Structure formats: C-alpha cells, structure tokens
Amino acid sequence: MPDTEQSKPETGHPEERWTPIHGQPYRSIPYRPARMPEAESLSQAAELKDRMRERRTVRQFSPDPVPTQAVRDAIACAATAPSGAHQQPWTFALVQDPEIRRRIREAAEHEERVSYDGRLGEEWLAALRPLGTDEVKRHLTDAPALIVVFQQRYWLGEDGTKHKHYYVDESVGIAVGMLLSALHLSGLAALVHTPSPMRFLSQVLGRPENEKAFAVVPVGYPAPDCQVPDLVRKALDQVLVEV
Ligand code: IYR
C-alpha cells in the first residue's frame, strides 16, 4: 500500500476503504441500497412513465406564485446529477424579482427579434412553426420564477489560474433533464428557453466570467387558458433498439 495517511480526511468514514489506483490512494465507502423487489420495480417504472408522459412544455403561465421551497428542492435534485469528474459544473440562479425578470425578458426579446427576423434561417423557422414560437417571450415575466442555468466552463484557482472542467455540456444537460423531471413530479410546469446569444444573462445576473448561460427555465402553473401544440411522441419501438 502507498502511504495514504497524508491524504486521509480527518473525519474518515468508519467503513472507508483505501485502494491504490495507478499508485495513488483511492478512498471508497460502502454503497448498499436495499434492492427493490422486481414487482415493485415494474410498478414504479410503469407509473413513472405515465407521469412523465403528462409533462408538457408550457409557454403560457399563470402569474400565481409557486412554492419557492419546491423549486429549491427541484434544483437540489438537479444538483445530484452525475458530472464529468464529479466537478458539478453548474450554477442555478433562481430569479423571482419582477424587475430582474422584466430586464431578462426585454433583453431576450431583443435578441429573439433578430433571430425570428431572419438570423435563424428559413429551414429553422419552418421547423419551429409547429411549435408556435415567436419573439414574444411573455413567459419570462408571467412565470413567477425563472431558473437560469449556467455552466461553469472552467474553475478558477485562488491565484486566478483556470482549471479545466470535463464534459460540461453533457453534465449540465443531464442536470437540466433532472430539473425538468423534478419540477414536473412536484406539480410545476416549466419550459426550456434558449435565447441566443445569451450573454446578457451573465450581465443582468452579475455572474463571473467562468460561467456561461445554458438555458432559462421559467417555472409556474399553466395559465387557465394554456394551449400546447398537439405533438405526438415517437413510439418506444422508434427510439429503442435492443441488441
Ligand atoms: N431560442 C428561440 C428559438 C427556438 C429554437 C428551438 I430548436 C426551439 O425548440 C424553440 C425555440 C426561442 O426560444 O424562441
């Protein structure tokens, strides 16, 4: 065994194990979740599938407030996502202040006007037509909460040196998927809004230079007269190949 004493944290886990990996000490702790009986697995999976099928992207929100703690808990769920080298390269800005939401909407609509006026190109605009989107982003001020998700492209050491983060897009994408699931399962509606370019979000929210906006997720309840496009999801046999 290599000399592991130096790297041992002071409060070691009672059942920690030290193993050399490429000559370096690797510390692990036991993971023994109770195994779910098969019948329960099947019923949980089927129920979850049905609940997830009810999720829809919502663009028309009621201004009714949402329970802030439920949104914080959903963010806590998202922050359990696996990430490259467990670097957790994300920051979630929860914005409820009406003035900040108004500024975000104003800046987003400014960019989106340019996009819908031609920057996206005809093929892209045609692909969006079935979704009924345009440059008017009422959801940014109607929804009572916005979660602005930032990816940390790198981390800054105390002396200002930049250190690489790995698989940042994948990690943050997984976290946003978990966020949407958690919000939905908590009874809240959401939308992934990707104004482009998104630099204004860093400015409005005063985020540091290592963070880059990834998406804005408005959260709330659907408006009483909310309409959604009549989309059809691909059948399982169109998306699943079993080998
Ligand atoms: N970001 C724009 C355009 C847009 C792009 C895609 I791809 C969508 O699925 C939906 C919208 C917007 O938010 O309107």
134 CA: nearest ligand 1 atom: 14
Q: What is the mean pLDDT of residues 48-75?
A: 98
Give pLDDT, residue 9. 56
Whether the CB of 112 sits within 6 Å of ligand 1: yes
Give pLDDT, residue 12. 86
Q: Kindly state which CATH superfamily the domain 56-239 is placed in.
A: NADH Oxidase (3.40.109.10)
User: 194, 216, 217, 228: which to mutate for ligand 1, most atoms within 8 A of CB?
Assistant: 194
Find the 206 Cα to ligand 1 centroid distance in Å.
24
Find the 225 Cα to ligand 1 centroid distance in Å.
22
Whether the CB of 193 sits within 6 Å of ligand 1: yes
Find the 233 Cα to ligand 1 centroid distance in Å.
18
Find the 194 Cα to ligand 1 centroid distance in Å.
6
Per-residue model confidence as pLDDT tens digits over 196-222: 899 999 999 999 999 999 999 999 999
Find the 125 Cα to ligand 1 centroid distance in Å.
9
Alpha carbon nearest to ligand 1 atom 8, residue: 128
Domain boundaries, the chain: 56-239
Per-residue model confidence as pLDDT tens digits over 80-112: 999 999 999 999 999 999 999 999 999 999 999
Cβ contact 48:55 at 8 Å? no
Q: What is the pTM of this model?
A: 0.94
Whether the CB of 196 sits within 6 Å of ligand 1: yes
Both tokens of residue 227? 């309409």
Look at residue 6 and tell me whether its pLDDT is greater than 60.
Answer: no
Distances (CA, A) of 95 to 49, 176, 190, 219: 30, 16, 14, 10
Cβ contact 196:223 at 8 Å? no
In sequence order, what E strands does the chain have? 17-21, 24-28, 61-62, 90-95, 145-152, 154-156, 162-164, 189-190, 211-222
Find the 151 Cα to ligand 1 centroid distance in Å.
19
Per-residue model confidence as pLDDT tens digits over 109-121: 999 999 999 999 9
Cβ contact 140:61 at 8 Å? no
Find the 227 Cα to ligand 1 centroid distance in Å.
17
Whether the CB of 194 sits within 6 Å of ligand 1: yes
Alpha carbon nearest to ligand 1 atom 7, residue: 128
